[in-house]
Chain A
Amino acid sequence: DGGITQSPKYLFRKEGQNVTLSCEQNLNHDAMYWYRQDPGQGLRLIYYSQIVNDFQKGDIAEGYSVSREKKESFPLTVTSAQKNPTAFYLCASQRTSGNTIYFGEGSWLTVV
C-alpha cells in the first residue's frame, strides 16, 4: 500500500529528553515536510526538504532538528530546547512534478 507512514501515533516525553518522530514514504516523492498543529489551530511549518541531504527551516524550526539521508525518510527530532513541544505533528510529501501535498496520519507528542 503506497503512502506516508508516521510513527509512533502517540508518544510521551519527559522534560529534558529528546525524541524522534519517524516519517517514511514509499511514493517516490522528492519533497517532504513537517508541520506542527496545536489544538484548534492551523498547521505551522517546522522544516521542509526538497531533495536528499538538503532541508530548510520553516516558521517554527527552533528546538527541532531533521535529517534527510534517504529519499524515503525524513525523521524529526524534538529537542529539549523546544519549550512547549506538546502538539500534533504531521509529515507530508510531494512529488517533483506535482502540485499536491499528501499527509501522513500524524503523531501526538505529550510532555509529562
Chain B
Amino acid sequence: LAKTTQPISMDSYEGQEVNITCSHNNIATNDYITWYQQFPSQGPRFIIQGYKTKVTNEVASLFIPADRKSSTLSLPRVSLSDTAVYYCLVLKANYGGSQGNLIFGKGTKLSVKP
C-alpha cells in the first residue's frame, strides 16, 4: 500500500481557506485517496474520497493532479471547530477483500485560531 507524507502541523485563522497537501508517490492504479478527520478521544471520521481531478462535498474539496502522486484537501472558511488532526490515506478499490495492513501516519494537526 502506498505510503503517504503530509505536514505535521498547520495553523490558520477563522474564515480562511486551508489547504493540506499529501504526497503518495507509490500510488497504484486502483488506489483511492481518502481523508479522515479526528478529534481528541474520538474515532477518525471520513471526510472525502477521490480518484482523480476534483471532488467536492458539503465539507471539503479534494484536488488530485493527473499524475495522482499528491493530493490537496481544501477546507473552505474554517472555524474553531475544524481544529483536529487530518489523515491522508490511500485505499485500494475493494473487490472482496479487506484493505489489509493499512498504514496511518501521524496526520496533520490543524489549529484554527480566532
Q: Which residues of A contact B (CB under 8 A)?
A: 4, 6, 30-31, 33, 35, 40-45, 48-50, 56, 58-59, 88, 90, 92, 94, 96-106, 108
Contact = CB atoms under 8 A, between A and B. Distances in A.
Interface stretch (B20-28, B59-67, B75-83, B91-99): B91-99
26 contacts: A4-B43, A31-B98, A33-B98, A35-B104, A41-B106, A42-B104, A42-B105, A42-B107, A44-B104, A45-B102, A49-B98, A56-B100, A59-B101, A88-B41, A94-B94, A94-B98, A97-B94, A97-B96, A99-B32, A99-B93, A100-B91, A101-B34, A102-B46, A104-B43, A105-B42, A106-B43
Interface of B: 32, 34, 36, 41-46, 49, 87, 89, 91-107
Nearest to B46: A100
Nearest to A90: B43
A88 B104 CA distance: 15
Most interface-central of A4, A6, A48, A101 (chain B CB within 10 A): A101
Contacts of A97: 94-96
B23 to A, nearest CB: 16
B6 to A, nearest CB: 11
Contacts of B32: 99
A35 B102 CA distance: 10
Given A31-B98, A41-B106, A103 B87 contact: no
Q: Sort A-B residue pairs by CB-CB distance and give the 6 closest, nearest first.
A: A103-B43, A31-B98, A43-B104, A42-B106, A50-B98, A42-B104
A100 B87 contact: no
Contacts of B36: 103
A44 to B, nearest CB: 7
Nearest to B109: A40
